[in-house]
Amino acid sequence: MTNAIEPRHPIPPAPIHPLAALSIIVLDNVFGWIDLVPGAILGTSLLVGGLGFLSTMFVQRYMAKDEWGVSVAKGLVMGIIAGVPFQVTGTAVGAILLGWAGASQWIKFPAPKGKLEQFPAPDDEIVDVEVKDAK
C-alpha cells in the first residue's frame, strides 16, 4: 500500500478550463479586422459571442466535466466577454484565466511537516535495517 503525499495547492483551480480561455483569446482577435470593413461590428460581435459561448460550453461540459447548467452559464459569460467589440476585453480575461489555471497547477506548497503519523512514508521509501547491539 503506497500513500503518496500530495503537495497542497495555495491557488484554487480556475473556474474555466484553460482550453476555453485560450479559445476566447483567439476569438477576441477577430476584432482586429473590423476596421477594414465598415458596419461589420454588430455581425462580428454576434458571431464571435456565439462561437465563444459554444466553445466554452462544450469545453466545460466534456473536458472539465461540468454539469450542463454550469457549462451553459460559463459559456454565456465567456461568450458575452468575447462578443464585446474591443480586441482587449477577451484577451485580458482569457490571459488572466490562463495564468490562474497555470498557477494553480504549478505552484504547490510542500506537504505539512510534523504530521508524519497522518502522512506515512511510501512503501518504496522504507528501508529495513537490522540494529546491532553496541557492546
User: Which tens digits make up the pLDDT trace of 53-85?
Assistant: 999 999 999 999 999 999 999 999 999 999 888
User: Which tens digits make up the pLDDT trace of 2-58?
Assistant: 455 555 667 778 888 999 999 999 988 887 776 667 778 888 889 999 999 999 999
**Domain assignments of the chain as residue spans, ordered by start:** 18-106
Closest CA relative to residue 64, chosen from 51, 50, 78: 78
- pTM score of the predicted model: 0.68
> DSSP letters along 63-131, please?
TS---HHHHHHHHHHHHHHHHSSSHHHHHHHHHHHHHHHHHHHH--BPPPSS-TTTSPPPGGG----PP
Residue given cell 461540459 in the structure block = 61
